[in-house]
Amino acid sequence: MAKNKTQKRSLKTDLQMIRRGYKLLYQACPQYLLWQTVASVSYMLLPYFALYMSSTIINAVFSGKDAAHLMLLAAVTVAGTIIIQILQRAINCKVEQQDNSHWHHMEMLFLRAQSRMQFKHFDDPETAQLRRRIRDFSNYGGHGLARLSWGYRDMLRAFFDMVVSVALTASLLRTVSDVSLSGFLAFVNSPWSLLVIVAFIVLTLLVNAFSVRVLQPKQTGIWEDRGQDRALFHRYIRDGAPDGKVMNGHSLVLLRGRSFLFDTVYAKKLYKIRTADRVILDATTTLLNIVLGIYVAAKAFIGTFGIGNFVLYQGTIQRFTTAFISFAASFVNLRHNNEYMEEVFRFFDLPDEMYRGTLAVEKRDDNQFEIEFRNVSFKYPGCDTYALRNVSFQFRIGEKLAFVGMNGSGKTTFIKLLCRLYDPSEGQILLNGIDITRYKLDEYLALFSVVFQDFYLFHYSLAENVACSLDYDEERITEALERVGYGDRLRELEKGLNTCCGKHYDVEGLETSTGEAQKIALARALYKDAPFFILDEPTASLDPIAEADVYARFNEIVTDKTAVFISHRLSSCRFCDHIVVFHEGQLIQYGSHNELIADENGQYYALWTAQAQHYTE
C-alpha cells in the first residue's frame, strides 16, 4: 500500500470518507454507535461530578458554612457517586454486549456484499485477494472499519471532555474591580492575561498536534512495513501444519519470522520515534500545567473565585489538554486509516452491471420451458480471446444431453451463461422466446438444479447442506440421498440428517470422502427439483464404474426434466439422447453416440478413440 496518501487527499475528502465509513458501521450495527455515544457521555460524568463537588465543598468550608450544610454536600457527593457508578456499570454491560456482537455484524456486512456480488467479481482472484487484504489489515493492524469503531469511541469521549471542561472553566473570564493591584497580579486580573493563557494553550496544543501529525504516522508506517509479513507468518503457522510437521516447514517459517520480529534496526527506529513523541507530549503538558497552576492560583488569590475553584479549574484544564491531544491523535489516525478504507470502499463499490429483469417466469407444472442460444459469443472480463464463439443451440424439452470436449473448449462457459452467472458478450439467450435478461433473476435461476465440478459442502448439518435452507422436508431429503446411493451411509450415522459435515463446528462431525461429498451435492440438486438438471463434471474424482453408476441413477430419476451432463469420460454419456461436442469455443458436432462415432473425421470420434483403452464393452 502506498505511503503518505493522507497528505495527497484534502481535508474535505478525508472527512467525506470518514463519514461514509461510519455510514457502513451504522448499516452493520446501528445499536453499536448508539451505545458508544451513551457510554461516552456517561464516561465523563463521574470525574467532573467529583471535581465539581470537591470544589463546592472546599468553597463551603472556606466561606464558613455550617456543619449541616457541609453534611448535605457530602451526602449529595456520596449518593451522586453511587448513582453514577451504577448507571455506568449498566451502560458498560450493554456496551460489552454490543462489542461482542459488533465484529460479527461487520463480518455479516461483508458476507451480504459478497452474496449480492456479480459473479464475475466473485469469480475474480483479485476480489478474493482484496478481501484477504482487508481481513489481514483489520486482524493484524486494527485498520479499516475496526479503526473507525475505536476512533468513534475515543473521539467522542475527547469531544465531550472538551465541551464540559470549557463550560466549567467559563468563570475564569471574570475579573475583580474593587481591589488595587499592581505588577503581575494586575496583569492576571486584566483581560490580556486570558488572551496570553489562551495563546499559550493553543501553542502547546499545536506542538502536540504536530507530534501527533508527524511522529505517529511514522510509528504506524514502521509497524505496517511488516504487516504483510506478520499476516503471512500467522497464516503459514495455521494453514501449513502437514508440511510444517513432516517437511520441517515450521522451522523455515520461524526463522523468517525471527528476521522481522526481532529486527534490531526496526526496533531502534520505533524506539526513537516513540521516545521523541513521549518527550514532546510530557514536556509541553507539564509546562502548560505549571503555567496554568500559577495563573489559576493567582486568580484565586486576588479573590476572583473561591479557593475550591482552584481544584476545579486545575482538573478541568488538565482534562481539556489531555482530551484535545486525544481528539487530535484520533482524528489523525482516522485520516491515515482512510488509506485502508479506500480498499474497503473498493470492495463495496464493485459494480453490479448485470441487468435484473422485471418479468415473472411463467409457472408451469409440465416443465415446458424452451431455451435457445442465438449466435452467442462470450469473452471473460479482461480477456481478449473468445471462450465461446457464435454458438446457436436450442434445448428440446425433456431431452438428455451430454456436453463433451477438451479442457477449455467452452462447455462450462456455456453452462455459466445458461445460468446467468455471466451475460453474453454478443448474441441472445431466450427462454420461451424472450431474452432471459428480462426475467427476474431469482425466478430464472429457480429453473436450474446445478452441480458444478467445484461444488462446496457447508460445515452445517447434512439436512441443511441438501436443502440449502433452515426450513426443510426431512422425507424429501432422505429420498434424495437414497436416490444418489447415500442411503446405506445415512443409516450408519448416529445423528442421521443432523450430522454436521466437517469438524469446524462439531468435533464429531462427518469427514466425507470425495465420493460421499459428491453424492450429497447431487442430492442437493435433486432436492431443488428444478425443470433443468445440470451436472458439470461433479463426478470427476470417481472411478469410471462409480461415475457410470451415478449417471445411470440420474437417467432413471430425471425422466421428465431437461438434463445436461458434462464429463470427460465419454462412456458415461452414452445413455444421453444426444451429444453436443465443443471445440475451441465453438459447437462443432451434435447427434447421438452412434451417429457421431460413425464420423471418423469428427472431433467426437477422435476423443472416443483416445479414451478407448479405458472402456470395457
Q: Residue 368's closest CA among 578, 565, 561? A: 561
User: Is the pTM for the entire model greater than 0.75?
Assistant: no
Residue 378 has pLDDT above 90, yes or no: yes
The pLDDT value recorded for residue 209 is 67
The rounded mean pLDDT for the chain is 81
**Element spanning 366, H or E:** none
The pLDDT value recorded for residue 399 is 87
pLDDT band at 425 (very low <50, low <70, confident <90, very high): very high
The pLDDT value recorded for residue 5 is 47
Work out the average pLDDT over 11-22.
91
Lowest mean pLDDT among 10-14, 298-302, 434-438, 454-458: 298-302
For residues 515 and 475, the answer to whether their CB atoms sit within 8 Å is no
426-431 and 371-378 strand pairing: antiparallel
Q: Can you list the positions of beta strands (E) in 505-591?
A: 532-536, 562-566, 578-583, 586-591
Question: What's the topology of domain 5-348?
Answer: ABC transporter transmembrane region fold (1.20.1560)
Lowest mean pLDDT among 239-243, 411-415, 434-438: 239-243
Q: Where are the alpha helices (DSSP H) in 349-403?
A: none
Work out the average pLDDT over 93-119.
84
Work out the average pLDDT over 368-381.
92
The pLDDT value recorded for residue 509 is 83
Work out the average pLDDT over 5-11.
65
pLDDT tens figures, 469-527: 888 899 999 999 988 888 889 999 888 999 988 887 778 888 888 778 888 888 898 89
Span(s) in the chain for CATH 1.20.1560.10: 5-348
Residue 394 has pLDDT above 80, yes or no: yes
The pLDDT value recorded for residue 6 is 44
**For the chain, what percent of residues have pLDDT higher than 90?**
20
Lowest mean pLDDT among 71-80, 303-312, 394-403: 303-312
Grid coordinates belonging to 188: 492576571
The pLDDT value recorded for residue 587 is 94
Angle between helices 249-261 and 227-239 (to 10 degrees): 160
**For the chain, what percent of residues have pLDDT higher than 70?**
82
Contacts of 119 (CB under 8 A, 6+ apart): 416, 421, 422
**390/376 Cα distance (integer angstroms):** 5
Residue 538 has pLDDT above 70, yes or no: no
Span(s) in the chain for CATH 3.40.50.300: 371-447+530-614
pLDDT tens figures, 49-75: 888 888 888 888 888 888 888 899 999
For residues 328 and 161, the answer to whether their CB atoms sit within 8 Å is no
Work out the average pLDDT over 445-458.
85
Residue 559 has pLDDT above 90, yes or no: no
Higher pLDDT, 19 or 331: 19
**470/462 Cα distance (integer angstroms):** 11
**315/44 Cα distance (integer angstroms):** 12
Measured between alpha carbons, how far is residue 86 from residues 46, 74, 207 in Å?
A: 11, 18, 39
> What is 371-447+530-614's CATH number?
3.40.50.300
Lowest mean pLDDT among 48-62, 308-322, 428-442, 476-490: 308-322
